[in-house]
Structure 1
Amino acid sequence: MAFLIRVLIYFASVLIYLVQSDFLSHAAAFSWNDFFNLWNKSDAQHYLDLAEKGYVNCTEVTEWSGREEHLFLVFFPLYPWFIRFFHFFVNSYAVAAFAVSIISFCVGCVFFYGAVKEEYGASIAEKSLTLLLLYPFSFFFGGIMTESLFFCLISAGFFYIRRHKWLIVGLIGLLASLCRIQGVILLGVGIVEFLISSQLIRMIQEGQFKGFLKYFFTEAVWLFLIPIGNLVYLGLNYQITGNAFQFTVYQKNHWYHTTTWFTNCVAEIMRYISGQVSDTTLLIWYPELILFVVAAALLLYSLRTQPLKYSAYLLVYTLINYSVTFLISGGRYMLNAIPLFFFTAALLNKHKLLYQLLCFASALLYGICFTAFLTGGAIY
C-alpha cells in the first residue's frame, strides 16, 4: 500500500506539471529528465553531488571567505552513502536516490504501523498512518532528501524500543544519528523506556547493586551505540577541514542558521508574519507557527495520557527544530515528529467527525503545498 501511494504521488506530480503547462504539446514529449527536474529541488542536488563526488570534492567558492569551502559538510552522510551503494545496481545516481527514498518510505510505514498498533491498537494505527500521509508536507517522503530514510530509522527504533530489543535499537539509532543530528534522541527515548520497563529502580532501592550493574551492562549499554553516528559525522568534519564543528561555521555563514533559544525562533517567525503577506509567509511562516502551537498543545495533552517515551521524543525533537534562526524548512522537519500523528489519532479516535474534517483539511493543504513545491513556490 505504501508503494502504491508513492506511485500515485509521482503520477500526480506529472499530472500537475502537464496541467500547468500546455498539456497536449508536453504530454508526448515528457521524459525522465522532466520528471527528475520536478523533484530536483531544495537540497536534492547537493545529496546527489555528495553521493557521486564525495565530501572532499564538493566545494564552492564563498563570498564570505573568498576561497573554496566544503559547504556541504552540513549534510549528514548516511543518505548519500546509501545512494552511492544503490548506484552499484542502477546506472543513475538519481534513480538510486529515488530507490533509497521509496524503499525507506515503504519499510518505514510498516514499522510505523507496527509500533503504533502494538502500543495503541489497530484503529489508532490506521488513523495515525492516514494523518501522516495527509500531512501537508509529506510529499517530501518521495524527494531526494533524508526524510524517508530518517522516518524509516525512527519508526524502526520506536518499534524495537517497544519490544525492548536494545542491541537492535542501538544499531538502528547509530544509523539514525548518521542520518540527521536528531537521531541521537533515540538514546533518550530508549533510556526512558528501559528505566520504566526494567527493575532497575527496585534493584537500586533494595541494594542489589551487582544485579543492577549486570543488567545495565548486558542490556542498556547497547543504547550507547547511538551517539557513535554523531561522532562519526564530527570525525568526517575534522578529517576534511581540521575542525570537528566546521559544519556550524557553514550553517551560520552560508545558510544563516545559528543556534538560539526556541523562544527567539518563534519570535522571529512572528515578526515575519507581521510583515508583508507573500507566498513565503503563507507557505513557511504560518505553517511553522501553527505546527509549534499544535506540538505544544499535544505535549500538554500527552503528559498524563500517553507513554512518556513518545512525549519525551516530541518535546526534544520540536525544541531542536525550533532552536535555530531563519527556520525555512520547519514544515518538512516536523514531518518526523511522528508522535504528533498518533497523539492526534488517539485524541480523535472517538470523534469521527473531527477526524474526518482534519483529514479533509490536511488533504486540501497537501494539494496546495505540493503544487507550490512542484511549481517553484517557497517550499524547502
Structure 2
Amino acid sequence: MTILLNTIFILFIGIWFVRFFVEMDVPEKYRVSRFFQNTTDYKGEGLTKKDVLRILFLAFLIRVLIYFASVLIYLVQSDFLSHAAAFSWNDFFNLWNKSDAQHYLDLAEKGYVNCTEVTEWSGREEHLFLVFFPLYPWFIRFFHFFVNSYAVAAFAVSIISFCVGCVFFYGAVKEEYGASIAEKSLTLLLLYPFSFFFGGIMTESLFFCLISAGFFYIRRHKWLIVGLIGLLASLCRIQGVILFGVGIIEFLISSQPIRMIEEGQFKGFLKHFFTETVWLFLIPIGNLVYLELNYQITGNAFQFTVYQENHWYHTATWFTNCVAEIMRYISGQVSDTTLLIWYPELILFVVAAALLLYSLRTQPLKYSAYLLVYTLINYSVTFLISGGRYMLNALPLFFFTAALLNKHKLLYPLLCFASALLYGIYFTAFLMGGAIY
C-alpha cells in the first residue's frame, strides 16, 4: 500500500507540473502531449449584490436552525418535559463546549502566559495551549469588548465568520465555475457530515472565511488584499500559508512569464512581480508571529511540537504512515471511535485522492495544489483524531465534486441525501459527547 500511494503521489506531482508549464504558455515545441492540457472551459459569472444578501440571509438562517436543532436533540435525548422549561443559556453553551472549545475561551480570557497545566510527562506546569494559533482567541477577546461573555463573543465570531465566509465561498466558485456549480458546492459544504463545527467555539468558521476570501481575491488578482488575508489565515492555522502557493500559481499562469521572457519582456515581468505580487510575501508572517509567540513564552520557537508529541500524541510523519495507522485501527476491534473517527478519515482520504486525480485535466491548478498540500498536512501526523473536522476546510473537495456531478441528475441528490443523513448521525453523536473531535 505504501509503495502504491507513493507511486501515485510522484506521478501526480509530475503530471501536475507538466500541465503547469503548459498553462504558463511554454512554447509548443516543448510540450510533451496534448493530454496534459485542460479539457474543460468553465464559464464564470460575476457575484451580484443580490447574491451577497441572499447568501448572508441563508447562512444566518441555517446557523440559527442548527442551533435550534441542537437544543431539540438535547431535549429529545433527555426527559423533554422536565428539561424544556428549565433549559438555560448554560445548558446551550455546554452542548457546544466540546473538544478544544474551552481552551480557546481560556486563551481569550487569560492569555497564553496564564494558561498552564501540570503535565505527567514533565512534572511541572506547561504552556500546553501554545499548540493553538492565536487569531481566533484574539478575535474573541476583541468581541468581548462589546458583549459581557467570552462564550457569546466566541459564538459571534463563529457566526459572523461563517456567514461572510459563505458569501466569499459562493463568490469564488461562481466567478470560476458559474452559478450552477456554485450553488451545488455551497450545498455540499453545508451538508458535509462535520460542518456543524462551523457553529462551534473553534477556528473552523474563521479559517473558512479567510481561505474563501483568499480564493475570491486571488481570482481577482487583488494581491495586497490577498497578502493581508493570507497573513491572518496563517495566524489562524498553519495551513493558512498555503494561500501563498495558490497566489503564486495564479500569478504565474496569468502572467505567462515563459512567453514574456521569449519576447524579451523579462524586465516587465520582474516589475510586475515586485510591484504587485510581492504582497503575497505578507502571508508567511502569520506563521512567523506564531513561532515568535512560542519563543517569547518558552524560549523555543517550536515548543508547540513538543506539546503536540507529549500531550496530544501527534508527531510529524509521512502521509502513508498516517493512512496505514488509520487502517490498523479499523482492522482492530470495532468501537465508537472506529465508526466516528477512523472510517470517516479513511473515506475522506480516498475521496480527496480520487478528486485530485480527476482534477489533473479538468480543474484549475491552483485549487488542486491547495487540496493536495492541505490534505498532506492534515494526514502527516500520528494519531489523527480530528481528520473529519480538518477536512471541512479542504474547500476544493466541494467544488470539484460539484463540477463532477453537475450534470448528473441522480448522483448529486443521492450524495446530498447521504451527506444529510450522516450529518444528523454525527451531529447527534457530537452533542451527546461521542468521540468526535
Name the TM-score class by shorter chain.
Answer: over 0.9
- Give, in whole Å, the separation in 1 of the partners of 2:383 and 2:409: 38
RMSD: 0.6
For structure 2, the residue ranges without an aligned partner over 5 or more in a row are 1-57
Map of 1:170 onto structure 2: 227
Map of 1:268 onto structure 2: 325
Residue 38 (structure 1) shift: 0.1
Once the two structures are superposed, residues 239-296 of structure 1 have per-residue CA deviations (whole angstroms, 9 ceiling, x without a partner) of 0000000000000000000000000000000000000001100000000000000000
- Give, in whole Å, the separation in 1 of the partners of 2:434 and 2:370: 31
> Residue 352 of structure 1: SS of its match in structure 2?
coil
Query: 1:273-292 maps to which residues of 2 (within 5 A)?
Result: 273-292=330-349
Residue 352 (structure 1) shift: 1.3
User: Is 2:246–2:367's contact at 8 Å kept on the other side of the alignment?
Assistant: yes
Residue 210 (structure 1) shift: 2.1
Once the two structures are superposed, residues 123-142 of structure 1 have per-residue CA deviations (whole angstroms, 9 ceiling, x without a partner) of 11000000000000000000
User: Is 1:195–1:201's contact at 8 Å kept on the other side of the alignment?
Assistant: no
- Segment of structure 1 superposing worse, 203-212 or 15-24: 203-212
Residue 220 (structure 1) shift: 1.2
- Give, in whole Å, the separation in 1 of the partners of 2:262 and 2:290: 39
| Residue 360 (str. 1) matches residue 420 (str. 2) | no
- Give, in whole Å, the separation in 2 of the partners of 1:362 and 1:213: 47
- Give, in whole Å, the separation in 2 of the partners of 1:311 and 1:213: 26
User: Is 2:107–2:115's contact at 8 Å kept on the other side of the alignment?
Assistant: yes
- Give, in whole Å, the separation in 2 of the partners of 1:243 and 1:205: 47
Identity %: 96
Query: 1:103-142 maps to which residues of 2 (within 5 A)?
Result: 103-142=160-199
User: Is 1:160–1:169's contact at 8 Å kept on the other side of the alignment?
Assistant: yes
For structure 1, the residue ranges without an aligned partner over 5 or more in a row are none
TM-score, normalised by the number of residues in structure 2: 0.86
Map of 1:248 onto structure 2: 305
Once the two structures are superposed, residues 330-367 of structure 1 have per-residue CA deviations (whole angstroms, 9 ceiling, x without a partner) of 00000000000000000000001100000000000000
> Residue 258 of structure 2: SS of its match in structure 1?
helix
User: Is 2:161–2:206's contact at 8 Å kept on the other side of the alignment?
Assistant: yes
- Give, in whole Å, the separation in 2 of the partners of 1:238 and 1:3: 39
Residue 51 (structure 1) shift: 0.1
- Give, in whole Å, the separation in 1 of the partners of 2:269 and 2:95: 55
Map of 2:5 onto structure 1: none
- Segment of structure 1 superposing worse, 267-276 or 195-204: 195-204
- Give, in whole Å, the separation in 1 of the partners of 2:61 and 2:111: 33
- Give, in whole Å, the separation in 1 of the partners of 2:406 and 2:256: 33
Whose radius of gyration is greater, 1 or 2?
2
- Give, in whole Å, the separation in 2 of the partners of 1:210 and 1:116: 34
Once the two structures are superposed, residues 191-213 of structure 1 have per-residue CA deviations (whole angstroms, 9 ceiling, x without a partner) of 00000011422222233332122
TM-score, normalised by the number of residues in structure 1: 0.99
User: Is 1:83–1:93's contact at 8 Å kept on the other side of the alignment?
Assistant: yes
Residue 219 (structure 1) shift: 1.1
- Give, in whole Å, the separation in 2 of the partners of 1:235 and 1:341: 35
- Give, in whole Å, the separation in 1 of the partners of 2:256 and 2:359: 24
> Residue 69 of structure 2: SS of its match in structure 1?
helix
Once the two structures are superposed, residues 165-222 of structure 1 have per-residue CA deviations (whole angstroms, 9 ceiling, x without a partner) of 1110000000000000000000000000000011422222233332122111001101
| Residue 100 (str. 1) matches residue 161 (str. 2) | no
- Give, in whole Å, the separation in 1 of the partners of 2:365 and 2:262: 22
> Residue 361 of structure 2: SS of its match in structure 1?
helix
- Give, in whole Å, the separation in 2 of the partners of 1:208 and 1:4: 52
- Give, in whole Å, the separation in 1 of the partners of 2:390 and 2:264: 44
- Give, in whole Å, the separation in 2 of the partners of 1:82 and 1:200: 40
Map of 2:367 onto structure 1: 310
- Give, in whole Å, the separation in 2 of the partners of 1:352 and 1:375: 36
User: Is 2:135–2:236's contact at 8 Å kept on the other side of the alignment?
Assistant: yes
Residue 157 (structure 1) shift: 0.2
> Residue 360 of structure 2: SS of its match in structure 1?
helix
- Give, in whole Å, the separation in 2 of the partners of 1:70 and 1:173: 27
User: Is 2:294–2:301's contact at 8 Å kept on the other side of the alignment?
Assistant: yes
User: Is 2:341–2:385's contact at 8 Å kept on the other side of the alignment?
Assistant: yes
Number of residues of Structure 1 aligned to a counterpart in Structure 2:
380
User: Is 2:257–2:266's contact at 8 Å kept on the other side of the alignment?
Assistant: no
| Residue 338 (str. 1) matches residue 395 (str. 2) | yes
Once the two structures are superposed, residues 295-347 of structure 1 have per-residue CA deviations (whole angstroms, 9 ceiling, x without a partner) of 00000000100000000000000000000000000000000000000000000
- Give, in whole Å, the separation in 1 of the partners of 2:293 and 2:336: 37
